[in-house]
Amino acid sequence: MRKFYSLVLLGLFATQVLADNIPEYCIDNDVVHRYLTEVQYDPNDYSYSKIMDYCYKFPWDWEGEGKGVRLDIPKPVTIKFDALAAASTIYVSEYEDFADAYTLAIPAGQDSVDVYNLIPNRLYNFKIEWDNGGVMTVAKSGQFRTTGNVRMLKIDGIYNVRDLGGWIGLGGNPIKYGKLIRGSRLNVNNASTLLITADGINELRRLGITAELDMRNSSNAANATHSFLGADIPIYNVENAYNSRIATFADAPQSIEGINKLIQWFREGRSVYMHCSVGADRTGTVAYLVGALCGMSEDALCKEFELTSFSGDKVVNERQEANGDYERLVRQRDYSGRLDPNDNQDSYKFASMVDKIKSFQKTEHPEWTLQQRVQWHLRTGVDGVKVSPADLAFLVDYLTGYKILAGFNTDVDTVRLEKGQTHKLKVTPFPAEAEYTSITFKGSTSKYVATITADGTITATGGGKAYVLVDVDGIEKYIPVIVPITETSVPGYTTEGEAVHNYLTETHYSADDYSVSTVENYLTGSGRKDWSQSVTFKWMVYPGATNQRLRISETPSFEKFDSYDKADEDSTHTLSGLEPQKLYYYKVIATFNGRTDTLVSSAFMTTGTVKMVNLKKVYNVRDMGGVTGMNGHKVQYGKLFRGSRLKGNTSEGGKVISTEDVKDLLRFGITAELDLRSDEETNSTTSALNREYSYSRIADAINAQGMYVTCNDAYIKALNTIIGWMKDNSEIVYINSTYGAERTGTLAFLINGLLGVSEEDLSKDYELSSFSGDKKAPVCKRNEGDFPAMVAAIKGLNGNTLQEKIYRYFTEGIYGLTGSATISKADLNWFISYMLGCPASEVESSPMTRLESVKAPVITGKIYNLLGQEVENPGPGIYIMNGKKFIIR
């Protein structure tokens, strides 16, 4: 249907009287005309309303109170003519050729005709034709003008019907007529009984309606697939929209859902009849949103809303149905809600709705207009229901011809840079005619990958993928920045605490001089020194992102990863207990824009040697891996851990020290516990990790410290147990004693010494227990206590190197000790290969595996017989050395 839209400003009357004296007809009814022309509202003051000065107190009683005069229908254009003896037809059109003419039949003898539902402020042509003996004859023709403020419509059977067109919008452009018509229901609620008549249906179809938006639930519509207007007219019901009327619209998605449907139909070229029950609250909400988006003034929006007060609908008030009372359809712009003393809910208060809209982005953008706030609301959405910027721009353009910002493009979709490189992002808003106020570069989701300055310059700061946020008048877009991940493009973090790191890098010991220790130089100051340094990640949360998770993996494909759930507002995470000298990958994933996506992905390097573990009530915990062993092989991380007791000693009550600490230890995969405490210290028979986990206690270790290490087979039994766990079930073992210092330190010395670790590193590992956070733990110095005596005793064993001596210690047992435990060479060779990650053949070919057993006793002190006499060259028998009995066979 083609029409000529030569519109004039709403509310202005034609002032030029043409030479041929074309008559003018105001199609506003008198009351509506006075209201629209006399009332002007202050947009900053919603404390008052003028509608009650013009409408009936009970609009539904128009037959009684109004004496039969309905205020929700327009005045007609009445054309008078000489009555004809035969029936005739009037044609009314904006075009001289009467294209798309509106036709009405005129009975014989009638001398006037009322023409309704014309558009205000238009020049119309008309002609009256009759059949004059088979010849169509024009009885009268001419022109007339319509004036008025609003296009109210007379549709038989229904009420409160009007066109949203005519109101002035953005750029002074009026909203187009005939695109969106609002009104009341077509059928009785919850029934198929029609209210609209056949003439009413025909009139809506003549007006171009080709789709119906019903904001009642589908149970009210009674037609599942099409409108009562015809089988060719689709219908859409906005379910549960009853709760989204007026003030509550901002907290409900239904009105936005309805607007999305309007846009879909408008893109199909359809005109829409929009309604709910009486066409007041739900319909008024959507009409307000559309009108405000198109730039209607607050004064116009108030009046358009209050026009419903002129409705003559007799719909029964749902709350008053039992009493037969009718709903009072007065709708006021102030805070009084609808004029009903029994139903004055906040959801009916128009002023509350305006307050809500004016609060959108008020702090962030105090300069925004009402139109911009509504645009932001629709674009941001509610509960995931939103309107895209492109659809909003289409809607405004379709209804007014005005171009608003639909979005923007950047010179590249993805920025690819090497670390240190830069790129200045170019932004082009569209459409080209759209006005916008600012382009803002808000930041990056990760400063460790990329940064962006106020002028749009992106700098690659490290390897990974992040997004930079660009904002053009509230329309946001994330642009991915990708930087290759290499060991040099990501940050490095030492896993050692500062004091430990300084001690390890600054201290150098001689293997032949155990008179010196420097560890006390590093024990000053407060705080836990047995903890590693933590790695802290920071990122920027995508607006509206939910379900954030941080994932850490040792591989870029994330086949296996540790996952941490994050609060949606939390954008930091701190990690500890990481393995040194490793490249770790991480990413933050979240749900946004209706899908799960990655906010940032990157990596970091860990440096240092010692993998220290941060626990609150378990102390001195560290991985025994990381040091260099035989033939330059690193002792493998994640196989053996050492630390203090997990259950308190008997004197401490024997309970698990910290269930949270135990959970953290389990995160490292530990499944076996080797306890070196004595029977007097504890009677534990199960692991604190888990009752089903492997547990063994070597109670004699307390008698095998210092110079007595070679007089007792406790540590041989201990390692034999560890090898059995590892070989049979690949278990990861936690070794502990009371403080995890001396007995644990002795076993650690023997194990790492067996693996070929240097004496200097063995000394440092022993002294690291001095950094324990346990206030009761001793300071472990390599030049004091049992440590020098232990080293001397082990060095007194047969063999060329320290590794060989320890190897023989484990394979030959304690010479002279009846039934001394031993470990087979096959098992010991397997253990060395397993812990160093080297081929078994390399261990088996080592010189230490081919040494012959030595039958002579190992002498590390004076030997006495049972009579207390010193013996120089003891033969077979029972002797005493250092106060301990031993046997020589």
For 192-210, what is the HEC assignment?
A: CCECCCHHHHHHHHHCCEE
What pLDDT score was predicted for residue 218? 86
- 323, with CB counted inside 10 A (0-12, 13-18, 19+), is exposed
pLDDT at 16 over 60: no
What Rg value do the Cα atoms of the chain yield, rounded?
A: 45
Question: Is 479 among the domain residues?
Answer: yes
What pLDDT score was predicted for residue 8? 32
pLDDT at 145 over 80: yes
What is the pLDDT confidence band of residue 190, given thresholds at 50, 70 and 90? Answer: confident
Q: Are 462 and 444 in contact (CB under 8 A)?
A: no
- Kindly report the CATH number assigned to the domain that includes residue 158: 3.90.190.10
CA-closest candidate to residue 307, choices 25, 13, 39: 39
Domain ranges, residue 450: 405-490+533-610
Question: Is 634 among the domain residues?
Answer: yes
What pLDDT score was predicted for residue 858? 53
Q: Which residues contact 774 (CB under 8 A, 6 or more apart)?
A: 619, 620, 644, 739
pLDDT tens-digit map of 206-249:
999 999 999 998 888 766 678 999 999 999 999 988 877 777 77
What pLDDT score was predicted for residue 225? 73
Question: Is 60 among the domain residues?
Answer: no
Q: What is the mean pLDDT of residues 13-37?
A: 78
Q: What percent of the chain has pLDDT over 70?
A: 92
Question: Is 45 among the domain residues?
Answer: no
Distance CA(687)–CA(694), nearest Å, equals 7
Q: What is the mean pLDDT of residues 800-820?
A: 89
What pLDDT score was predicted for residue 1? 34
734 and 633 belong to one structural domain = yes
What DSSP element (H or E) covers 293?
A: helix 281-293
Q: Which residues contact 319 (CB under 8 A, 6 or more apart)?
A: 342, 343
pLDDT at 148 over 80: yes
698 and 688 belong to one structural domain = yes
- Name which of 6-10, 92-96, 392-396, 424-428 the model is least confident about: 6-10
141 and 246 belong to one structural domain = no
Rounded to a whole number of angstroms, the distance between the first and last alpha carbons of the chain is: 119
166 and 132 belong to one structural domain = no
What pLDDT score was predicted for residue 318? 41
Residue ending a domain, among 122, 148, 174, is 148
pLDDT tens-digit map of 828-848:
999 999 999 999 999 999 988
pLDDT tens-digit map of 360-378:
999 988 989 999 999 999 9
What residue ranges in 28-172 does DSSP mark as E strands?
A: 77-80, 88-93, 102-106, 112-115, 123-132, 135-147, 162-163
- CA 811 from centroid of its chain's CA atoms: 59
- Whole-model pTM: value is 0.71
What residue ranges in 370-500 does DSSP mark as E strands?
A: 407-410, 415-416, 422-424, 427-430, 439-444, 450-452, 457-460, 464-472, 475-483, 492-494
Question: Inter-axis angle of helices 281-293 and 370-380, to 10 degrees?
Answer: 110
What is the pLDDT confidence band of residue 853, given thresholds at 50, 70 and 90? Answer: low
Q: What percent of the chain has pLDDT over 90?
A: 73
Residue ending a domain, among 400, 419, 434, is 400
- CA 266 from centroid of its chain's CA atoms: 33
Question: Is 512 among the domain residues?
Answer: no
- Strand, coil or helix: what is 412? coil
Number of independent structural domains in the chain = 5
What pLDDT score was predicted for residue 343? 53
CA-closest candidate to residue 250, choices 335, 332, 352: 352
238 and 126 belong to one structural domain = no
What pLDDT score was predicted for residue 859? 52
pLDDT tens-digit map of 494-543:
989 999 999 999 999 998 899 999 999 999 988 899 999 888 888 988 77
pLDDT at 319 over 60: no
231 and 338 belong to one structural domain = yes
CA-closest candidate to residue 542, choices 471, 614, 606: 471
What is the pLDDT confidence band of residue 595, given thresholds at 50, 70 and 90? Answer: confident
Instruction: Locate all alpha helices (DSSP H) within 686-772, ordered by sequence.
Output: 714-729, 742-754, 759-767
Highest averaged pLDDT of the listed ranges 180-194, 355-369, 411-425: 411-425
Question: Is 50 among the domain residues?
Answer: no
What pLDDT score was predicted for residue 134? 86
Highest averaged pLDDT of the listed ranges 52-61, 646-655, 878-887: 646-655
What is the pLDDT confidence band of residue 339, given thresholds at 50, 70 and 90? Answer: low
263 and 337 belong to one structural domain = yes
In angstroms, what CA-CA distances link 500 with 54, 526, 664, 800? 86, 14, 22, 32
Q: Output 339 or 466, whichever has higher pLDDT.
A: 466
Highest averaged pLDDT of the listed ranges 245-259, 296-310, 582-596, 697-711: 296-310
What pLDDT score was predicted for residue 336? 82
Residue ending a domain, among 595, 610, 625, is 610
Question: Inter-axis angle of helices 742-754 and 786-795, to 10 degrees?
Answer: 30
Question: Is 34 among the domain residues?
Answer: yes
What pLDDT score was predicted for residue 412? 96
827 and 802 belong to one structural domain = yes
pLDDT at 164 over 70: yes
What pLDDT score was predicted for residue 889? 43
One-letter identity of residue 29: N
- Kindly report the CATH number assigned to the domain that includes residue 537: 2.60.40.10
Q: What angle do CA 153, 157, 161 make, to 5 degrees?
A: 25
Structure tokens at 526: 């407060």
pLDDT at 2 over 70: no
420 and 478 belong to one structural domain = yes
pLDDT at 144 over 80: yes
Question: Is 473 among the domain residues?
Answer: yes
Q: What is the mean pLDDT of the chain?
A: 89
873 and 833 belong to one structural domain = no
What is the pLDDT confidence band of residue 443, given thresholds at 50, 70 and 90? Answer: very high
What pLDDT score was predicted for residue 743? 97
3-state secondary structure 806-836: HHHHHHHCCCCCCCCCCCCHHHHHHHHHHHH
What pLDDT score was predicted for residue 327? 62
What pLDDT score was predicted for residue 221? 74
434 and 371 belong to one structural domain = no
What pLDDT score was predicted for residue 885? 61
pLDDT tens-digit map of 85-119:
899 999 999 999 999 999 999 999 999 999 999 99
863 and 845 belong to one structural domain = no
What pLDDT score was predicted for residue 242? 83
pLDDT tens-digit map of 730-746:
999 999 999 999 999 99
